[in-house]
């Protein structure tokens, strides 16, 4: 819990996004990076030699070249030329942090996408010295207050965080970039509202949509800045999420491989994981969350992105006074009618319980005819972004800024084939291969697996068998296919797909990460919720009382 509390403190800062202008100058001053420059400078010098022809520093002494490069790095870490105005990330400080999972470096940053009007505070958990290196193992992790602080079992976020910390601890150098993008960017309160709808049977995607919120509105420009700050030229990304791969690639980040980051499901998050697999094309092995083979559904709908001129546009639970909608636009704008039709009746039943009186599909007339109650009218009529700002839902979710995930393969392939957006490989043996991970049934959207870090367990479950040179190859892994993936926990390399335990309600069922070299971090690694013990003695919250008779995630049950 100590560990959770530390991360939780970071997470809680999300609630304080608005930093008064007066406070800005305190951190706006340029600061020297605190990491040791010696080794870094040496690495830069080596790089300087390699790059001497192209960077304008070739006439200088080696050390001077290194200094120039370092200076260039420092300049670019605040803002990239590709960034829209007002997008930058500032390094603030670094400290050492002992945690239950080991000792890490912790670096703090401040990040803005609106010229300093609002901030988030990304942090980076570092093992070893990734400065100046390539192919660094990186987890880009988004805040989840409910699991990381409160120990919620409805998702897999906390387990993934700990899994990745264990990975970088065991195989340094590596880093976890922790971003304050709660609820896939919709914010904590909206996520709670989405949970309220999930209690009634909607899945994680439809709940967001029912609130008029995007499926995912995270933005990752801070990642690029942080990598530049540390001089990390390419990464192996620990993720199951193809969108994250394509998003980072489209920012110009060089992703040379994917390290799967899957944890064993338990009864409270099995349906959630299934939804992520089916609805959002997460590369998950169904055997980790289901007894039955779970076919991936073609993705419907759109993902909405920040346009960086405002905030993620959304409806959700209004923050402030209602903003009148443009004429002809109802509360959910141009959301696809079919999806919302499906859930509209459920929502109207429960809308009042989540503070939103009327939510209606685009095709429905109910939302555009205001409810007579003041609260309903106000809520239904407003489109308030979760983080301030003011662009409209329709604006952000329109064709210009949305990604049609009907064919996510194309999207990723596009990123790969575009020289500007991603470079594949350059990382040793087999570097020219671009390999698909076809392990899970949606695996053709994935990047290759890097067996060098063997972050794939449970070979029998099929992830390791999915390596091929498929035409849907995406973000390539340099070393894919050069060695077998080991079975979880049983052989040499660390396995970072958790495969432990039963899924019968014990929180420790998700606690075993397979172990490094066969050892089990789960039991001693502080992974159990509640400071080493299961909730309710290993079964359910509340000492035996079950959420909805053990089927809350299946929908429709009451707690």
Q: Which C-beta is closer to ligand GTP: that of 77 or that of 209?
A: 209
Compute the distance between CA of residue 262 and CA of residue 159 in angstroms, rounded to an integer: 9
Q: Which C-beta is closer to ligand GTP: that of 79 or that of 171?
A: 171
Q: Which C-beta is closer to ligand GTP: that of 538 or that of 554?
A: 554
Contact of 235 with 255, CB cutoff 8 Å: yes
Compute the distance between CA of residue 531 and CA of residue 1 in angstroms, rounded to an integer: 5
Q: Which C-beta is closer to ligand GTP: that of 194 or that of 480?
A: 194
Q: State the minimum distance, in angstroms, from the CB of residue 192 to ligand GTP.
A: 9
Q: State the minimum distance, in angstroms, from the CB of residue 456 to ligand GTP.
A: 13
Q: Which C-beta is closer to ligand GTP: that of 241 or that of 464?
A: 241
Q: State the minimum distance, in angstroms, from the CB of residue 182 to ligand GTP.
A: 5
Contact of 509 with 266, CB cutoff 8 Å: yes
DSSP string, 147-202: HHTT---SSSHHHHHHHHHHHHHHS-SEEEEEE--GGGGT-HHHHHHHHHHHHTT-
What lies within 8 Å, CB to CB, of 374 at 6+ separation is: none
Q: State the minimum distance, in angstroms, from the CB of residue 421 to ligand GTP.
A: 19
Binding footprint of ligand GTP on the chain (CB under 6 A): 142-144, 155, 157, 160, 181-184, 186, 191, 194, 204, 208, 239-241, 244, 261, 276, 282
Whether 216 is a known active-site residue: answer yes
Q: State the minimum distance, in angstroms, from the CB of residue 244 to ligand GTP.
A: 5
Q: Which C-beta is closer to ligand GTP: that of 111 or that of 276?
A: 276
Q: State the minimum distance, in angstroms, from the CB of residue 261 to ligand GTP.
A: 5
Other C-beta atoms within 10 Å of 517: how many?
11
The vertex-413 CA angle with 410 and 415, nearest 5°, equals 110
Catalytic position from the list 47, 110, 158, 218: 218
Q: How far is CA 192 from CA 54, 154, 237, 541, in A?
A: 51, 12, 28, 18
Whether 218 is a known active-site residue: answer yes
Compute the distance between CA of residue 441 and CA of residue 281 in angstroms, rounded to an integer: 9
Three-state SS annotation for 499-530 = CCCCCCCCHHHHCCCCCHHHCCCCCCCCCCHH
Q: State the minimum distance, in angstroms, from the CB of residue 311 to ligand GTP.
A: 16
Compute the distance between CA of residue 526 and CA of residue 3 in angstroms, rounded to an integer: 8
What lies within 8 Å, CB to CB, of 299 at 6+ separation is: 279, 280, 281, 405, 406, 408
Contact of 90 with 245, CB cutoff 8 Å: no
Catalytic position from the list 135, 206, 216, 409: 216
Q: State the minimum distance, in angstroms, from the CB of residue 473 to ligand GTP.
A: 19
Q: Which C-beta is closer to ligand GTP: that of 131 or that of 199?
A: 199
Q: Which C-beta is closer to ligand GTP: that of 160 or that of 486?
A: 160
Rounded to a whole number of angstroms, the distance between the first and last alpha carbons of the chain is: 25
DSSP string, 17-31: ----HHHHHHHHS--
- Strand 235-238, strand 255-259: pairing: parallel
Task: Please identify every residue annotated as catalytic.
Answer: 216, 218
């Amino acid at each position: 819990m100590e560990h959770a509390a530390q991360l939780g403190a970071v997470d809680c800062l999300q609630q304080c996004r608005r930093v008064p202008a007066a406070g800005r100058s305190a951190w706006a001053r340029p600061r020297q990076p605190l990491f040791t420059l010696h080794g870094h400078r040496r690495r830069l010098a080596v790089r300087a030699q390699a790059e001497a022809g192209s960077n304008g520093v070739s006439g200088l002494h080696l050390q001077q070249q290194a200094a120039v490069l370092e200076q260039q790095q420092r300049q670019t870490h605040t803002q990239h030329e590709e960034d829209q105005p007002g997008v930058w990330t500032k390094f603030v400080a670094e400290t050492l942090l002992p945690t239950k999972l080991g000792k890490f470096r912790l670096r703090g940053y401040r990040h803005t996408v609106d010229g300093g009007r609002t901030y988030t505070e990304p942090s980076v958990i570092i093992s070893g010295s990734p400065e100046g290196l390539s192919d660094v193992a990186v987890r880009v992790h988004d805040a989840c207050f409910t699991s990381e602080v409160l120990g919620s079992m409805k998702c897999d976020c906390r387990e993934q965080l700990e899994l990745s910390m264990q990975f970088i601890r065991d195989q340094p150098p590596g880093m976890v970039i922790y971003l304050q993008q709660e609820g896939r960017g919709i914010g904590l309160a909206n996520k709670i509202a989405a949970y309220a709808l999930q209690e009634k049977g909607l899945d994680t995607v439809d709940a967001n949509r029912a609130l008029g919120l995007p499926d995912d509105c995270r933005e990752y420009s801070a990642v690029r800045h942080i990598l530049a700050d540390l001089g990390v030229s390419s990464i192996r990304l620990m993720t199951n999420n193809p969108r994250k791969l394509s998003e980072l690639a489209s920012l110009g980040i060089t992703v040379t491989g994917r390290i799967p980051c899957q944890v064993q499901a338990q009864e409270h998050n099995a349906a959630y994981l299934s939804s992520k697999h089916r609805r959002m094309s997460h590369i998950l092995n169904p055997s980790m969350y289901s007894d039955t083979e779970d076919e991936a559904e073609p993705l419907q709908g759109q993902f909405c992105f920040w346009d960086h001129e405002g905030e993620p546009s959304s409806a959700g639970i209004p923050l402030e006074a209602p903003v009148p909608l443009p004429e002809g636009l109802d509360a959910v704008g141009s959301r696809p009618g079919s999806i919302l039709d499906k859930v509209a009746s459920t929502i109207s039943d429960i809308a009042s319980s989540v503070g939103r009186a009327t939510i209606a599909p685009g095709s429905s007339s109910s939302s555009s005819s205001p409810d007579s109650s003041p609260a309903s009218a106000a809520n239904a009529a407003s489109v308030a972004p979760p983080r301030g700002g003011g662009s409209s839902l329709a604006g952000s979710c329109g064709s210009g800024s949305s990604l049609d995930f009907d064919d996510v393969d194309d999207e990723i392939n596009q990123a790969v084939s575009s020289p500007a957006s991603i470079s594949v490989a350059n990382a040793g043996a087999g570097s020219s291969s671009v390999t698909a991970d076809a392990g899970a049934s949606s695996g053709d959207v994935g990047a290759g697996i890097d067996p060098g870090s063997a972050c794939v367990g449970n070979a029998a479950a099929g992830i390791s068998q999915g390596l091929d040179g498929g035409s849907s190859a995406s973000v390539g892994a340099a070393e894919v296919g050069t060695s077998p993936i080991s079975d979880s926990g049983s052989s040499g390399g660390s396995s970072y797909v958790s495969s432990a335990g039963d899924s019968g309600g014990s929180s420790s069922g998700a606690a075993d990460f397979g172990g490094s070299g066969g050892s089990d971090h789960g039991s001693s690694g502080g992974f159990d919720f509640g400071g080493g013990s299961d909730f309710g003695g290993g079964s359910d919250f509340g000492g035996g009382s079950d959420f909805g008779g053990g089927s809350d995630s299946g929908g429709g049950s009451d707690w």
